[in-house]
Structure 1
Amino acid sequence: MSAFDDLLAFQRQTEALSSIAERLGWDQETVMPRGATEQRAEEMAAMETLLHERRTDPRLGEWLEAAQPQSEADARIIELIARDFTRASRVPARLATELARLTSLAQGIWAEARANDDPTDFLPVLDQVLMLKREEAAALADGGDLYDALLEDYEPGMTGAGLAALFDAMRPRLVALREDVLGAERQPQALSGHFPQETQLRLARICATAFGYDWTRGRIDLAVHPFSSGRWQDSRITTRVVETDPFNCLYSTIHEVGHSSYELGIDPDYAFTPLGRGVSMGVHESQSRIYENQMGRGRAFTGWLFKRMSDAFDGLNIADEDAFYATVNRVAPGHIRTEADEVQYNLHIMLRFDLERDLISGRLDTEDLVEAWNARFLKDFGIAVDRPANGLLQDVHWAVGLFGYFPTYALGNVLAGGLNAAMRAAVPDLDDALARGDAGPGVEWLRENVQRHGGLLPPRRLIEEATGGPISPEPLLDYLEEKFGRIYGL
């Protein structure tokens, strides 16, 4: 066997073990007994110890030096393994193990705190997580910016300064659009009523099927915070149900189908290699957001959904398809990021981005985080945080150590804006299919131009080749202004 063959065989086992660890995380957030938290923390720590040993195995360095690529895919595999080897080698095994143990415990503590609407028990463990993440960032940064070092795990090649500049460029048009919309004379009616859980979940499965979800390689479960998990032949989705708000369940489901379909759409030849997963979280979010928003909240698909919801719930308080489209896209003040409309969503992300940069840099301490969150929210949204579950406790990300993850949501929206423009030009009859409850033509375009490549192409190159131009917020902002201008009669 060649050095490259040895490298691939070793990596195959590492990828399989990583997938097992991911499945343990899925189990913890869906069906694991609540009393098993400490046991699961030890299991996750043991898995991370094993994975860290493999990712820093000295033989990797020898194989990487001797490997001779025979194709573009081979060269990219070597590049990605070398990147992970370098990063993992900078992090002490003790730190990697302790992070896995602590974040597993913190996830359970966060869930209890959120349920009890009390951050008292959560803040001390969050402070411990933050201290470990600062230590990890210092090890990875090698003298560079701490936040950039963490961001590299989610969006390779991106920097905090670059994201800040992007967000600063977006904010004025988003704020102006929100002010115009909220001050408009025409205001859509809110959906009201009682929507039983079983009916919502049945409709969620119908929507997932409409977007091409492969039920032979996936499943849907309930979770406190919706997410997707898995790759290759097993990629699962979760949703949540609020019986007064079926949009929460239905659009969370469509969103997670976008994530899961990306993983399931990758070239199967890339399985058990670094190419067999999404190339970045920004690209991942572009898939979930374009499924949920540009296709799922468009006039064509909501017309189809109106009929299904009217039948399922024996009528709605909304008069017709046009009014329902406006209701689905209704802009209203609210605390919860995952329930935010397209106009305000990115403003929620900008708040989190600024706060987590301050946390990692040491400019903000966890003991001051609740006050800082509440003050910033009031400033940005004009409403006070009424309770912790609607403020700091609404997201799980910091509890599980995902510092650097939040900005990829807004970046994903930007990428989705460009992809949507290119997709609409390439598939002019897409709305005809969506009106029949068939997202297939759009899904196929995304699979061909984005999803099948997996990690083969770096994020920027992938998006620029798919869209035919540079990454820019303009297509997203133009889309938002045109869409909501029509809905609100601006």
Structure 2
Amino acid sequence: MSANNMAYADLMAFQRETEALGQVAGRLGWDQETMMPRGAAEQRSEEMSALEGVLHARRTDPRIAEWLAQAEAADAVAAANLRHIRRSYERQVKVPGPLAQALARVTSRAQGIWAEARSRDDVAAFLPILAEVIKLRREEAACLAQGGDLYDALIDDYEPGATAESLGAMFDAMRPRLVALRSAVLGAAYQPAKLEGQFGQDAQMRMARDLATAFGYDWERGRLDLAVHPFSSGSGDDARITTRVVESDPFNCFYSTIHEVGHACYELGIDPDYRLTPLGAGVSMGVHESQSRIYENQLGRGRAFTSWMFGQMQTRFDGFGLTDADAFYGAVNRVQSGFIRTEADEVHYNLHVMMRFDLERALIRGDLAVGDLEAAWNDRFAADFGVAVPRASQGMLQDVHWSCGLFGYFPTYTLGNVYAGCLNVALRQAVPDIDDHLARGDARAATAWLRETVQRHGGLYEPREVVRLACGFEPTEAPLLDYLEAKFKALYRL
């Protein structure tokens, strides 16, 4: 073996151990949100900090620079591995180890404080730890940006190549059509009926498992648990999902489950040869969200699949006020100015994201003080949605992201919707009888196409490139907006 090939082999062996330790850290995070006793929060923060210290030391090991200087790529896979490792190394060496550990410690503590504050609608209890998180993230961003935009430096963690300027321009292009569609729908003479009744937790969870199965979730390599805020965790042969139950609103559970299945199936669908390498995870959060959103919306909320769901609901639950599949489809897609992003209809969802994008960008840039965040949230929500926020758990305390330090993550939700809109066009051209399958509760034809064109590649391509290759055209917001207008104008008889 040549010296260049030996350098690549040594680098990849080292990277494999780093990736494995990263999976262990992720499992600790999953446990914290699902199983960990409340009293263990302080100890867990120390555990997470210690593990982050080990990971940061490995990710900044000087030998990586030496291996990168010597290694040569024998093929496209090796070239992609080297690209990811080089990018990670160049970012990681800019951040001091003590700062990385402090962030891990504080965000671990913050998640428990946030959950408790959310349960009591107590913003004041959360603000001090949030201020610590933001202070540390701004310090990290300053290290990464090296004189550039702090928020751009954080976005790059989740969507390489994206900037606040490019995302803001996309949002500006989307907002007028979304606002016009919302006004037309809310003012329509016809309004779909809503689901009514009480739906027990056990029955909801049984149906949630069946929905996950319908979308191809591999129960040999995953599990479903309850959490305050639904999420997915893991990759390779261990990709877990969570959901939540509201007994008056089973759609909360069902569509949270389908959404997280989309994330998990992306991870489970990656080429197994990439396992525990930089290519063995989703390439960006925008592409990740494209999978969860197309599973949840274009497939899961479509007329074909909801007709099957209606039959399942009739079998599993007593009367719920809807007499036919068309009425059920209308209830699933009912548009209303709700407070919770994860429960928002497709028309309002991106407006929720745009609001968070503006607020967190102002926090990171220092234009908005942490103490003024609740008032800023409530004022902006009233302006954008026309209703007043009644309590903090339906306002600034609803999302877990800021307690985790995930600043720059929110805009990837809308970017994922944009990518999903493009993929939906290509999917329906490639699988023209897709609705026949979905009407039988069988999403395998759709998910197989997504696995082949998107998921199996993992991190092989750049984010926009993988979407372009799958679709055959450059991704833009137009397909998503066209889909939303066609769907909701038909539903609301406009």
TM norm. shorter chain > 0.5? yes
- Check whether the contact 1:309–1:315 (CA below 8 A) recurs between aligned residues: no
User: Is 1:40 the equivalent of 2:29?
Assistant: no
Matched ranges for 1:164-203 at <5 A: 164-203=168-207
Contact 2:231 2:260 in 1 (8 A): yes
Aligned to 1:216, the other structure's residue is in SS state helix
Aligned-pair CA distance for 1:394: 0.1
Q: How does 1:441-460 map to 2 (within 5 A)?
A: 441-460=445-464
| 2:345 paired with 1:341 | yes
3-state SS, counterpart of residue 236 of structure 1: strand
Amino acid at match of 2:407: F
Runs of 4+ in 1 over 2 A off after TM superposition: none
Q: Does 1:77 align with 2:81?
A: yes
Cross-structure match for 2:221: 217
1:339 is aligned with what amino acid?
E
1:472 alignment counterpart:
476
Match of 1:23 among 22, 27, 36: 27
Matched, 1:131 2:150: no
Aligned counterpart, 1:55: 59
| 1:91 matched to 2:95 | yes
The separation in 1 between residues aligned to 2:417 and 2:471, in whole angstroms, is 14
Q: 1:17-72 deviations in whole A, cap 9, x for unaligned?
A: 00000000000000100000000000000000000000000000000100011000
**Cα deviation code 1:407-465 (max 9, x no counterpart):** 00000000000000000000001000000000000000000000000000001111111
**2:355 aligned with 1:351:** yes
Distance 1:81 1:68 in 2: 13
Alignment partner of 1:143 out of 138, 144, 147: 147
> Does the 8 A contact of 1:140 with 1:149 survive in 2?
yes
Give how far 1:139 is off.
0.1
Paired with 1:69 and 1:332, the residues of 2 have a C-alpha distance of 53
Pick one of 283, 287, 296 that aligns with 1:292.
296
- Residue identity opposite 2:263 in structure 1: H
Q: Is the 1:19–1:230 Cα contact (8 Å) retained in structure 2? A: yes
SS in 2 for 1:292: helix
The residue aligned with 1:418 is 422
The CA RMSD over aligned residues, in Å, is 0.5
Query: Are 2:107 and 2:403, in contact at CA under 8 Å, matched by a contact in 1?
Result: yes
Per-residue CA deviations over 1:71-95 (Å, capped at 9, x if unaligned) read 0010110110011011000000010
| Secondary structure of residue in 1 paired with 2:241 | strand
The answer on 1:65 being equivalent to 2:69 is yes
Q: Output the CA distance in 1 between the equivalents of 2:125 and 2:150.
A: 27
Return 5+ residue gaps in structure 1 as ranges: none
- Aligned residue for 2:231? 227
Deviates more, 1:220-229 or 1:466-475: 466-475
- Matching of residue 487 in structure 1 with residue 478 in structure 2: no
* 2:432 counterpart (428, 434, 452): 428
Q: In structure 1, give the amino acid aligned to 2:136.
A: L
Pairing partner for 1:155 from 159, 162, 165: 159
1:101 aligned to 105, 119, 123, which one? Answer: 105
Match of 1:386 among 373, 387, 390: 390
Is 1:328 matched with 2:332? yes
One-letter identity of the residue aligned with 2:111? Q
Does residue 208 of the first structure (1) align with residue 212 of the second (2)? yes
SS for the counterpart of 1:397 is: coil
Letter in 1 for 2:447: V
Q: 2:379 is matched with which residue?
A: 375
Q: Aligned to 1:115, which of 97, 113, 119?
A: 119
Give the C-alpha shift of residue 351 in structure 1: 0.2
Quote how far apart the aligned CAs of 1:167 are. 0.1
CA drift of 1:12 comes to 0.3
Matches of 2:318 and 2:15, distance apart in 1:
53
CA distance in 1 between counterparts of 2:84 and 2:444 reads: 32
Q: CA offset at residue 257 of structure 1?
A: 0.2
1:316, CA displacement in angstroms? Answer: 2.3
Instruction: Tell me how far apart the structure 1 counterparts of residues 117 and 360 of structure 2 sit (CA, whole Å).
Output: 20
State whether structure 2 residue 306 is matched by structure 1 residue 302: yes
Instruction: State the Cα distance separating 1:310 from its structure 2 match.
Output: 1.1
Report if the CA contact (8 A) 2:197-2:319 is conserved: no
Deviations 1:155-212 (A, max 9, x none): 0000000000000000000000000000001100011101000000000000000000
**Equivalent-residue separation in structure 2 for 1:301 and 1:389 (angstroms):** 32
**Corresponding residue pairs, total:** 490
SS for the counterpart of 1:248 is helix
Percent identity of equivalent pairs? 66
After TM superposition, list the pairs within 5 Å mapping 1:259-278 onto structure 2.
259-278=263-282
The AA in structure 2 aligned to 1:134 is R
Contact 2:111 2:400 in 1 (8 A): yes
Separation (CA, whole Å) in 2 of partners of 1:332 and 1:75? 48
Secondary structure of the residue aligned to 2:160 is coil
- Paired letter, 2:204: Q
**1:315, CA displacement in angstroms?**
3.0
Is this contact kept in 1: 2:48–2:108, CA < 8 A? yes
What do the CA deviations read for 1:221-253 (whole angstroms, capped 9, x no partner)? Answer: 000000000000000000000000000000000
Q: 1:246 aligns with which of 247, 250, 262?
A: 250
Partners of 2:57 and 2:97 within 8 A in 1: yes
Q: Answer yes or no: is 1:397 the counterpart of 2:401.
A: yes
Distance in 1 (alpha carbons) for counterparts of 2:379 and 2:319: 41
For residues 74 and 212 of structure 1, what CA distance do their matches in structure 2 show?
A: 30
**Is 1:227–1:237's contact at 8 Å kept on the other side of the alignment?**
yes
Which amino acid counterpart does residue 20 of structure 1 have in structure 2?
Answer: V
Q: What SS does structure 1 have at the residue aligned with 2:351?
A: helix
